[in-house]
Structure 1
Amino acid sequence: MLELYGHPFSSYTWKALIALYANETPFTFRMLDGQNPEFYAKVQAASPMGKFPLLVDGETQVFEASAIIEYLALHHPGPAPLIPADPDAAIRTRMIDRVFDNYVMNAMQESVDEAIRRGSASDEVQKRVDERLLRTYRWIENWLGDYSAGDAITLIECAAAPSLFYADWVTRIPEDCPNLRAWRAHLLALPPVSRCIEDARPFRAYFPLGAPDRD
């Protein structure tokens, strides 16, 4: 039985969970909630910075959410086309995965980290985050014009759903990005994603910038 170590409010845990839920892959969730110190010890020992999620498959340990999804696609495949079979399409999928991790999630994380340290994000930090996210939102808006965004779950959807869910709390997707706004709503309605949203709902009070009364 696969084991996934993480937390229901963690965006990168969501990323792995969405892939597991999309393929209805059996697994045991090991929640890092302070109740089981041995879970923390396992995660800390598995990677350089001891970050989650961590996937355990027998003697195999896989950290980093993108690598976990690659592993699931290879060793525990299902109906969801997590990684395209065509090599060129797979490269494009991995490239867009990095857009959402590096230019959406990591960008908004600067405001979150500042709020954790200081209690709120400074105007300077928030302005910098807004500029980065708005530039990325508009790039994604253009990219969506060539993307067939159906109900399939690929590495792209696994990355996009949690990053857009939280980033929109930090910097709203503007009205001049209607395709992106509609796609975010579509992603949040997908059953594997909505399951993550509901499981995370009890923890919203912990969002450092304050969770909005929506989604």
Structure 2
Amino acid sequence: MHLHNLAETNSILNTFIAEMRDVNIQKDTMRFRRNIERTGEILGYELSKSLNFSNKEITTPLGSANSNLISDDIVLCSILRAGVPLHNGLLNYFDNAENAFISAYRHHKDNPESFEIIVEYLACPDLNNKTLILADPMLATGQSMVSTFEALKPFGTPKNIHLVSVIGAQEGVDFVSKHFDTNTHLWIATVDEALNEKGYIVPGLGDAGDLAFGQKLQH
């Protein structure tokens, strides 16, 4: 797997990540969502450099111009609900993309420190020969990303796969690298070293879904 960790180069992205982590700034849910969206835009821009392009002649009011435009058929797939702002950021740049959505959540059985990933809802177009961009803001254990991809397999075989996350743990990065093809690309804003005993990223930023949309009912 090809890892693209944008934190290795200083940019304005540092500011957005710092604000998302900050316990005081992240209380502003609208700003939190916007920072995830802006991060998605930056990740999408960097990702776009690796796509396929073809030349097209464009008619202007005064003549014509040649432009190299993306020739890949893109499908954006996000994991609900935390993935919605990240999806919006990517869609701002890949506005002609098809879209897929999947719900995946952690189901804790008897032990609160162990869980399995449950997929309940899935809407997806045909993936055959498409470029799949699979987005999940938090790459903790990596199990959600892998389970989501397994659930997508009946919809076809993409020709290229790009994973997009905001913050990941090294354990999650290692996990997905073992379960995806070596030609898969992972685009991530920053990677933290640790997971705690409940599988959350440390220092991370907390629960991205709750911070973006409010706390969910526990049942």
Q: TM-score range by the shorter chain?
A: 0.3 to 0.5
> Greater helix percent: which structure?
1
Larger radius of gyration: 2
> Greater strand percent: which structure?
2
Q: TM-score, normalised by structure 1?
A: 0.37
Q: TM-score, normalised by structure 2?
A: 0.37
